[in-house]
Chain A
Amino acid sequence: QVQRQQWGAGVLKPSETLSLTCAVYGGSSSHYFWTWIRQSPGKGLDWIGEINRSGSTNYNPSLKSRVTISLRTSKNEFALKLSSVTAADTAIYYCAAFDKGAYYFEYWGPGTLITVSP
């Protein structure tokens, strides 16, 4: 079974950079696309972007100019950076393992609440 943990600073000021890391270990994790998803207060889920084991990335066009997802294969970790945050970026951020064969998120991280406040 794939285990995952995620961590990062929980409170940011406007214009700062959000930084989160997700660690994945156990199971057959090499075939997944590793994904970041967020849920703003009182709203649904938004897809942020993904990265595969080769380091190929794909981003939501609405966030593309501010998002970077990177891989640290030696540590089985992948990271999210979101620059120039505003209050609209306040959300719970999840990492998830996406199976591109059948298009579902097989595993999710526990989520990290990020609050952007002056």
Chain B
Amino acid sequence: QSALTQPPSASGSPGQSVTISCTGTNNDVGGYNFVSWYQHHPDKAPKLIIYEVNKRPSGVPSRFSGSKSGNTASLTVSGLQAEDEADYYCTSYTDTHNFDVVFGGGTKLTVL
């Protein structure tokens, strides 16, 4: 069982917006602004798309945005495109383990 809770699936039609949630506790998501998101296409390396809650690495489209409210972080994909269909994982810094991050269980995003 993953430390951070994500919905197992999400979907939307091309052009629509979809939001994926990532719920933790005060010891991780709620207590620190170190939430990151990764896009994972099958048989490819996961790719960082959001770090520090809402920052995008160079080259990541502005359609991807992140936010946080309390113990829940969110990834929003606007203007859905077919290539956005992938698994999405969140991670957060945690102060309760002997290692620095905890993971979400992943969300399969389907573009209808």
Q: How far is the CA of A46 from the CA of B32 in the complex (A)?
A: 21
- Residue pair A104, B91 in contact (C-beta under 8 Å): yes
Compute the total of residue contacts between A and B using a CB distance below 8 Å: 62
- Residue pair B2, A47 in contact (C-beta under 8 Å): no
Q: Which size class do A's interface residues fall under?
A: 20 to 34
Minimum distance in angstroms from A8 CB to a CB of chain B: 16
- Residue pair A105, B45 in contact (C-beta under 8 Å): no
Q: B residues within 8 A CB of A46?
A: 103
Minimum distance in angstroms from A110 CB to a CB of chain B: 5
Q: How far is the CA of A44 from the CA of B4 in the complex (A)?
A: 10
Q: Which size class do B's interface residues fall under?
A: 20 to 34
Q: Is the C-beta of B47 less than 8 angstroms from some C-beta in chain A?
A: yes
Q: How far is the CA of A96 from the CA of B45 in the complex (A)?
A: 9
Q: B residues within 8 A CB of A15?
A: none
- Residue pair B52, A102 in contact (C-beta under 8 Å): yes
- Residue pair B106, A103 in contact (C-beta under 8 Å): no
Q: A residues within 8 A CB of B51?
A: 102, 104
Q: A residues within 8 A CB of B36?
A: 103-105
Residue of A nearest to B45 (CB): A108
Q: B residues within 8 A CB of A47?
A: 99, 101, 103
Residues of chain A at the chain B interface (Cβ within 8 Å): 43-47, 49-50, 58, 60-61, 94, 96, 98, 100, 102-111
